[in-house]
A and B are shown apart, each in its own frame.
Chain A
Amino acid sequence: MSAKLNALNSDSYIDVSQYRDQHFKGNRYEQEKLLKQSHTLYVGNLSFYTTEEQVHELFSKSGDVKRIIIGLDKIKKTACGFCFVEYYTRADAEHAMRFINGTRLDDRIIRTDWDAGFKEGRQYGRGKSGGQVRDEYRQDYDPARGGYGKLAQQHPAGESRNSF
């Protein structure tokens, strides 16, 4: 019976995820506090070609968007597949977590997560090659995200890594 009753108040789509920003200036407690009050979402798995206009159109469906910051490759200064969306109210951001997270933008399933708040410098990818860390190591071919992952590009499959 109590499982059903938990369903009455369940709102799991707006829960804070396990991810914590390693570069966050402050302790875990402070970061969690900010996440729970945040009006800003991190949006991941974007195509490199997804524009601010497309992000604005989609995310406006859950409320008025205050600001969008497109994530950039640190070296090339071109879009590298993520962005931040800031709303005027927490409630609007929550609706985005419930109804836009896990749906498609530019034919790709995008993922949203709470963000502690945009600070200058956070718009850059943290991967060694300038893009996002996930694009350093992935093995698959994704034409909307620069093709193969950076490591796989340097060591294409089929070439042996060890000389023995």
Chain B
Amino acid sequence: MSGTLPVQRRSSSKQEIIDARLLPEKLTVYTTLVGLLNARNYNFGGEFVEAMIRQLKETLKNNLYNEAVYLVRFLSDLVNCHVIAAPSMVAMFENFVSVTQEEDVPQVRSDWFVYVVLSCLPWVGKELYEKKDVEMDRLLSQIEGYLKRRVKTHVPMLQVWTAEKPHPQEEYLDCLWAQIQKLKKDRWQERHILRPYIAFDSVLCEALQHNLPPFTPPGHMPDAQYPMPRVVFRMFDYTDAPEGPVMPGSHSVERFVIEENLHCIIKTHWRERKTCAAQLLSYPGKNKIPLNYHIVEVIFGELFQLPSPPHIDVMYTTLLIELCKLQPGSLPQVLAQATEMLYMRLDTMNTTCIDRLINWFSHHLSNFQFRWSWDDWSDCLTVDLEKPKPKFVKEVLEKSMRLSYHQRIVDIVPPTFSALIPAEPSFIFKYADESASSLPGYAVSITVGNAIKNRASNEEILTILKEVPNPNQEDDDDEGESFNPLKIDVFLQTLLHLAAKSFSHSFSALAKFHEILKTLTDSDEGKLHILKVVYEVWRNHPQMIAVLVDKMIRTQIVDCAAVANWLFSQDMAHEFTRLFIWEILHSTIRKMNKHVQKIQKELEEAKDKLEKQQHKRVTDMDKNSEDEEGQLEEQIERLQEKVESAQSEQKNLFLVIFQRFIMLLTEHLVRCETGSVDISTPWYKNCIERLQQIFLMHHVTIQQYMGTLENLLFTAELDHHILAVYQQFCALQL
């Protein structure tokens, strides 16, 4: 191989090979190449190793821990290629494991160093044991001690299923340890990894090896962001692949290597779905394993990963479709089998994961004419509709309807499923016809409706609205400024009814009458009531509710806290377990977060500008520069206030949300306790997992407010069920 490479390309190929670390699934090909080059040119090998060490230091400094794993693995495989001397690799591993002796560091730090060492052993364990078995035994014993005393509070929060059967959701280090133990028992015989260097052994064994320079792991920095712990996702075992090659066991090192490599392929090619699918399906050694099952398992593992998938959800849908196209005779069947299994285990599946399954399945079906054997799932019709299985089917049908239309859904399911079919998404107009004539707002609604149709001005409309009596007031002694729920009801119902035709029509209506709406919703009660009215008229069309709420936040007709309070209000209690509620809440939180980030960015940019300006002044001695500086300083002050105000609003939003959760959950727990009833109702499971979901989906933002949360809300007096969620969350970064 290296005989054909011209000598001049040595230095450029160094860089190219280092870039090859980004193709970790082809690792052994590149290490073999380096081995051969080193055999011909000792200096090349030395320079290459030095360059890799430099790169390793850089990645660790920049919190690029996932990349650093591949670099260390590359280095360790270079031992197999006679580039690096085994004892020096062992010494590096010893330095890594010594991190477990450090005090007052986050557990995730020492976790990472242990993980790196263990994850290299499938590649290099044999060689290191042959050369340094005493040291390696000591190393493994140290690791074992560490794993025993490690805290694992975080695990329940990251598990996709709460049930241990059929496959336990193991903590990732525990699983890897079991796999390495088994590998050791098998005397480090590992048969899955492709090792091209074996074919070149006669050349490579003549090479001079290099010693790794002593590598001290960089110390812990307070702003370090170590990878979060994970749980190993398993849904298949050897019993699931009916014919053909057998699936390696859950504690076999082969399983680890296959999964690692498949994850790597996705990481490399996720942007290009055709390439990604092709690369996955051409995995080397695919004839010895049930590759389709591994692929489907790895993809669902990423999709269901908590806190969040490594890539955007829709990527996985499209990737699976691509895979089905490339393997139409086999992959769709595996996917159907997987879907069936996931359905069977819904009862113990984490709510957040169920959300993702709903979105995936409905989107997938919409690409295949919604063809599915719904009758196979008729067992869901025999239980309470709030149970996970019927609830899942209901939500899938609702999402499917959004991608098609109501009649389509009626047509695709058997008639027995009619209770699960979503309502027709039609507007519910209170003042629709003469049967409503006895309602207090009826007359004004007709007048306002006509006024809107005749393009009356805002003043004219407000004048008409003055006629609406205020049910909250005795005398009419005000100018109509205080909160009048009936006025909001009449105007908004009438307006939205006229604009009901499409999203665009409704958005135009909100824009056109923005002034009036702002006036009507000036108070907190006003904001709450407008949301109430939107729900009442569009309760059959949750998609419309969501887009209207989004628009109203963006145009500041309502604020984020109002939306949170509305979703948790008694009026919405009967919808509390429906998916659209949580989509609205999370969308609201995201908007708040983006708003804060936007202003923070503006502040940073203004500060940069000021710095440049100050620099200029020093060099230019210009009066105009001074004025500009003054303006910038003022702007920065204003932006600073804006940032503080936005952060305060953000903190308040989370406080409102958490407070509401605590109230609801405590109420339920107390009621169950006094009634001696089991707390684990479907409602409770949904609610407690929705609380978890808030923490998981917004953990970056919430970290900032931990102090306040702990002092004000998540105190020791709280019921331990609720406090456990908070403690598990804290454990994610400890």
Contacts and interface: CB of A to CB of B under 8 A. Distances in A.
Nearest to B20: A5
B640 interface: no
Contact of A52 (B26, B269, B313, B504): B504
B503 A99 contact: no
Contact of B317 (A5, A57, A99): A99
Contacts of B363: 58, 61
Nearest to B547: A56
A152 interface: no
Contacts of A4: 20, 23, 26
A144 interface: no
Nearest to B366: A104
A12 B272 contact: yes
Interface residues of B, number: 38
A68 B508 CA distance: 12
B326 interface: no
B271 A98 contact: yes
Interface string A21-58: 00000000000000000000000000000011110111
Interface string B370-405: 000000000000000000000000000001001111
B16 A8 contact: no
A104 B369 CA distance: 9
The B interface is mostly helix, strand or loop, or mixed, namely helix
B503 A52 contact: yes
A159 interface: no
A118 to B, nearest CB: 13
B660 interface: no
Given A7-B275, A10-B272, A99-B314, A57 B19 contact: no
A76 to B, nearest CB: 16
Nearest to B359: A61
Given A7-B268, A13-B272, A53-B503, A99 B318 contact: yes
Given A10-B275, A103-B367, A57 B402 contact: yes
Contacts of A1: 13, 16
A111 to B, nearest CB: 14
A11 B321 contact: no
B22 A8 contact: yes
Contact of B367 (A12, A56, A104): A104
A120 interface: no
Contacts of A145: none
B504 A53 contact: no
Contacts of A163: none
B663 interface: no
A106 interface: yes
B583 to A, nearest CB: 10
Contact of B271 (A11, A53, A105): A11
B543 interface: yes
B312 interface: yes
Given A52-B503, A62-B312, A95-B314, A57 B403 contact: yes
B543 A98 contact: no
Contacts of A140: none
A57 B543 contact: yes
B16 A5 contact: yes
Contacts of A85: none
Contacts of B20: 4-5
A103 B543 contact: no
Contacts of B13: 1
| Most chain B CB within a 10 A radius of its CB, from A12, A53, A64, A105 | A53
A13 B402 contact: no
B269 A98 contact: no
Contact of B273 (A2, A58, A64, A98): A98
B503 A54 contact: no
A91 B403 CA distance: 23
Interface string B291-329: 000000000000000000000111101100100000000
Given A5-B19, A62-B314, A53 B402 contact: yes
A14 B271 CA distance: 9
A56 B503 contact: yes
A95 B311 CA distance: 11
B16 A2 contact: yes
A57 B22 CA distance: 35
Contact of A105 (B22, B313, B315, B403): B403
B323 to A, nearest CB: 13
Contacts of A53: 402, 502-503, 543-544
B312 A95 contact: yes
B25 to A, nearest CB: 11
A93 B321 CA distance: 20
A119 to B, nearest CB: 17
Nearest to B313: A61
Contact of B369 (A7, A103, A107): A107
Contacts of B313: 61
A98 B313 CA distance: 12
Contacts of A105: 366, 403
Contact of A11 (B272, B404, B504): B272
Contacts of A106: 403-404
A72 B276 CA distance: 37
A100 interface: yes
B315 A98 contact: yes
Contacts of A61: 313-314, 317, 359, 363
A132 to B, nearest CB: 20
A57 B403 CA distance: 6
Contacts of A2: 16
| Most chain B CB within a 10 A radius of its CB, from A1, A2, A13, A69 | A1
B271 A54 contact: no
A99 B273 contact: yes
Contacts of A8: 19, 22-23, 268
A7 B314 CA distance: 21
A80 B363 CA distance: 24
Nearest to B403: A57
Nearest to B369: A107
A62 B23 CA distance: 26
A7 B315 contact: no
B48 to A, nearest CB: 16
Interface in B114-136: none
Contacts of A104: 366-367
B271 A13 contact: yes
A105 B402 CA distance: 11
A28 to B, nearest CB: 27
Contacts of A62: 312, 314
Contact of A68 (B271, B503, B587): B503
Nearest to B591: A64
A12 B272 CA distance: 7
A11 B315 CA distance: 14
Nearest to A70: B504
Contacts of B314: 61-62, 95, 99-100
Nearest to A94: B271
Contacts of B312: 62, 95, 99
Given A95-B312, A103-B318, A54 B272 contact: no
Nearest to A14: B271
A107 B404 CA distance: 9
Interface in A81-140: 95, 98-100, 103-107
Given A69-B504, A98-B272, A105-B403, 19 more contacts: A1-B16, A4-B26, A5-B16, A5-B19, A8-B22, A13-B271, A51-B502, A52-B503, A53-B502, A53-B544, A54-B402, A56-B503, A61-B313, A64-B550, A70-B504, A95-B312, A95-B315, A106-B403, A106-B404
> What 6 A-B pairs have minimum CB-CB distances, sorted nearest first?
A57-B402, A61-B314, A99-B318, A99-B314, A104-B367, A11-B271
30 contacts: A1-B16, A4-B20, A4-B26, A7-B269, A7-B275, A10-B275, A11-B271, A52-B503, A52-B504, A53-B402, A53-B502, A53-B543, A56-B543, A58-B363, A61-B359, A61-B363, A62-B312, A64-B587, A68-B503, A68-B504, A69-B504, A70-B504, A95-B315, A98-B272, A98-B315, A98-B318, A99-B273, A99-B312, A99-B315, A103-B318
